[in-house]
Copies of this chain bind each other. A is one copy, B any other.
Amino acid sequence: MANMNMIQALNSAMDVMIERDPKVLVFGEDAGYFGGVFRVTDGLQKKHGMTRCFDTPISEGGIVAAGIGMAVYGLRPVLEIQFVDYIFPAYDQLVSEAAKIRWRSAGGYTVPITVRTPYGGGIFGGQTHSQSPESLFTHIAGLKTVIPSTPYDAKGLLISAIEMNDPVIFLEPKRLYNGPFNGHHDQPVVPWSKHPASDVPEGYYTIPLGKAATVREGDAVTVLCYGTMVHVAVTAAEESGIDAEVIDLRTLVPLDLEAIVASVKKTGRCLVVHEAPETSGYGAELATLVQKHCFYHLEAPVERVCGYDTPYPHAFEWDYFIGPDRVAAGMRLTLER
C-alpha cells in the first residue's frame, strides 16, 4: 500500500503493465520525455526506455490510427489524448475503425487499445479544456467508456481497460487529479491523502468494468453520477441532509443496470448528474432506462442536473460548474412531488 493521488495511481497502473507485459506501450503528445502536461506518464520513458513511452506528432487521428495498427499487430497500446476536447480529429478512427474492426472482421482482428484522456471542468480551462463528451462515445457500438472517481478505482480500472480486448475510452476527471474536489471552489483544496481511496496497492490489481459502486447509502433518492460529480453529489447529500443514495457508475458502457434498478426501486426517486450539456447527454440514456425499468416504483420524474446547453465559458467557471447546491436543488425537485 502507498498513498497516491490520481495522477500517481494512473502512472502506477501504466508502470505495472509496461513491466508485466512487453506488448504494452504508451504514447501521446508530450507524453514521452516530459511525462505529459499533467505528468501522468512522468518517468515511464526514463525507466522503461524510449520505445515503451514516447512523444507523438500533434495528430490525434494519427495517435489513434497508429494505436489501432499496433493493436491489430498484437500490442496493447495505451494512448494519451492531451485533453478530450482535442479528441475529435481522431473521432473517425475511433467510431468508424476502432469500434468496428472486430465486428467487420467477424472477430478476425481485434483492437485492444486504451485511450486515456482528461475531461471535465473546474480548472478555468474554458471551452477547449473543460468538455465532457462521454455520450459521443456511449452511442457507439463497439466502444467501452470508463470514468474513475478515486485513485484506487483509477488504477484498478485502468489496468482492466489495458487488459480488455476491446477499445476503451478512459476519461480522467482532471479536476480530481490532485484531490477529491467537492465543488466548493471557495474552500481550501483537500489533497487525496486525506481520502481513504488514496491508499493504493503498489502492484497489480484490477477492478472489473461494468460494476458500479454505491458510495453513499440512502433511502430518499438515488443519485446517478460519475467522475468529479461523485464527490459533489456526496457533499450535496451531507450538506442538505437529504438521505441520498449516491451511485458512482465507474463504467458507462457496459452499464451496471442492476445496481441502478435495485437502488431506484428502493428509493422511488432518481436524479442524474453530469457535467456534459443536458441535451443528448448520457443522463438521457440513464433516465430513460430508469423510467422503463422502475416505472411503477417512481414517485417523481427522473430529474437531471447537467451542464447547460452551451459551450463551456471561461469567466463563468463557477456559474457553469455544478456545485453541491445545484445538486441538492435537483434532489429536492425529486422529493417535492
A residues lining the B interface (CB < 8 Å) = 85, 88-89, 91-92, 95-96, 99-100, 103-104, 127-128, 133, 135-136, 138-139, 141-142, 253, 276-277, 279-285, 287-288, 291-292, 295, 300-304, 309-311, 337
Given contacts A287-B291, A292-B303, contact A127 B104 (CB under 8 A): yes
Residues on B with C-beta less than 8 A from A295 are: 300-301, 337
A218 to chain B, nearest CB (A): 22
Would you call B127 and A100 a contact (CB within 8 A)?
A: yes
Partner of A282 from the list B136, B138, B280 (CB cut-off 8 Å) is B280
A138 touches which one: B92, B103, B279 (CB < 8 A)?
B279
- A141-B310, A280-B285, A288-B304 are known; give 16 further A-B pairs, CB within 8 A: A88-B95, A91-B92, A96-B128, A99-B311, A135-B135, A138-B280, A139-B276, A139-B281, A253-B279, A283-B288, A284-B284, A284-B288, A288-B291, A288-B302, A291-B302, A295-B300
- Given A142-B311, A284-B280, are A89 and B88 also a contact pair (CB < 8 Å)? no
Shortest beta-carbon contacts, A-B, top 10: A88-B92, A139-B280, A284-B284, A287-B288, A295-B301, A291-B291, A292-B301, A284-B285, A91-B91, A284-B288
> Is the beta-carbon distance between A96 and B103 smaller than 8 angstroms?
no
Most buried by B among A89, A92, A103, A284: A284
Bound form: Cα–Cα A291–B295 in Å: 10
Closest partner residue, chain B, to A272 (CB atom)? B288
CB neighbours (8 Å) of A95 from chain B are 88
Chain B residue contacts of A92, Cβ below 8 A: 88-89, 91
* 11 residue pairs A–B, Cβ–Cβ below 8 Å: A85-B96, A104-B311, A135-B139, A136-B139, A139-B277, A139-B279, A141-B311, A142-B311, A288-B288, A291-B302, A295-B301
Q: Are the C-beta atoms of A291 and B301 separated by less than 8 Å? A: yes
Given A279-B253, A300-B295, A311–B85 Cβ distance below 8 Å?
A: no
Given contacts A279-B253, A288-B287, A96 and B88 within 8 Å (CB-CB):
yes
User: Copies of this chain, how many?
Assistant: 2
Task: Check A280/B280 contact, CB under 8 A, given A141-B310, A291-B291, A311-B100.
Answer: yes
Q: How far is the CA of A253 from the CA of B279 in the complex (A)?
A: 9
Contact among B91, B304, B309 with A141 in the assembled complex (CB-CB below 8 Å): B309
Q: Which of B103, B128, B280 has a CB less than 8 Å from the CB of A311?
A: B103
Question: For A100, A133, A283, A285, which residue has the most chain B Cβ atoms within 10 angstroms?
Answer: A285
The docked-state distance in angstroms from the alpha carbon of A311 to that of B95 is: 10
**In whole Å, how far is A293's beta carbon from the nearest beta carbon of chain B?**
8
CB distance from A117 to the nearest CB of B (A): 14
Q: Report the separation of the CA atoms of residues A331 and B103 in the bound assembly, to the nearest whole angstrom.
A: 31
A136 touches B138 (CB 8 A): no
